[in-house]
Amino acid sequence: MNKGCLIVVSGPSGTGKGTVCAALLARYPQIAYSVSATTRPPRPGEKEGVNYYFLDKPVFEKMIADGELLEWAEVFGNYYGTPFRKIQDRLAAGQDILLEIDTQGAMSVKKRFPNGIFIFLLPPSLAELERRIRGRGQDDEESIRRRLAASAGEIAVAKEYRYVVVNEEVDRSVETIWSILTAEHCRVSRNAALIETIGQLP
């Protein structure tokens, strides 16, 4: 059995990562979502164990000390991180896993999983990014300015990813990501054992 693919999706706040990833998972249920842990409070509609594991800071810091996280970062005063063991088990069983994390976390994951599928989601423009952030109605003016200022630095990291997808329309972005995953499963490096088995003479 081939191992599953680790799919890492990042992009600036307001790009639509959550919407695209949710649509991808709904359309292709064979992909499993890796639920991250965070110390930030839940946003309206978010559920424990579905969107995030919402933890107190002392609990999160113990997980860091015990090496239980694949990656972790502090963003805008809150911790975010990815539990490690469940991902290993699922990949070994052939399950494709989706991670929706920031650029700092993605670069940490890349060191441990260099063969992962790293996808950077871009907005059509910074003006459109600002429109989307304001449209959410979840941030005050100071937070909006801070997120927009951080976006340029995040976009600069896009060159470290393997693929870039411009999120103009959700369905199109979902199909593009699925095409990337399909192509990755056909890589020779992922199918060496299959090639060897089929190529053996009876």
pLDDT at 189: 87
Query: Which residue type, as a one-letter code, is found at position 202?
Result: P
pTM: predicted TM-score of the whole model, two decimal places: 0.81
pLDDT, tens only, 131-171: 777 777 676 777 777 777 778 888 989 999 999 999 999 99
Enumerate domains of the chain plus CATH numbers. Answer: 6-199 (3.40.50.300)
In this model, does residue 107 exceed pLDDT 60? yes
Please tell me the distance from the alpha carbon of residue 25 to that of residue 150, in angstroms, as a whole number: 28
User: Tens digits of per-residue pLDDT, 52-65?
Assistant: 999 999 999 999 99
Which helix (DSSP H) or strand (DSSP E) does residue 164 occupy?
A: strand 163-166
Q: Is 140 exposed, middle or buried (0-12, 13-18, 19+ CB in 10 A)?
A: exposed
Mean pLDDT calculated for residue range 192-198: 87
Above 80 in pLDDT, residue 30? Answer: yes
Instruction: Decide: helix, strand or coil at residue 2.
Output: coil
Q: What integer is the mean pLDDT of 109-135?
A: 86
Could you tell me where the DSSP H helices lie in the chain?
Answer: 17-27, 57-65, 85-92, 103-112, 126-136, 141-156, 170-185, 192-199
Q: How far apart are CA 178 and CA 184, in angstroms?
A: 10
- Give the Cβ contact number of residue 30 at 10 Å: 10
Mean pLDDT of 77-92: 89
Given pLDDT bands bounded at 50, 70 and 90, which one contains residue 1? low
- pLDDT at residue 126 in the model: 78
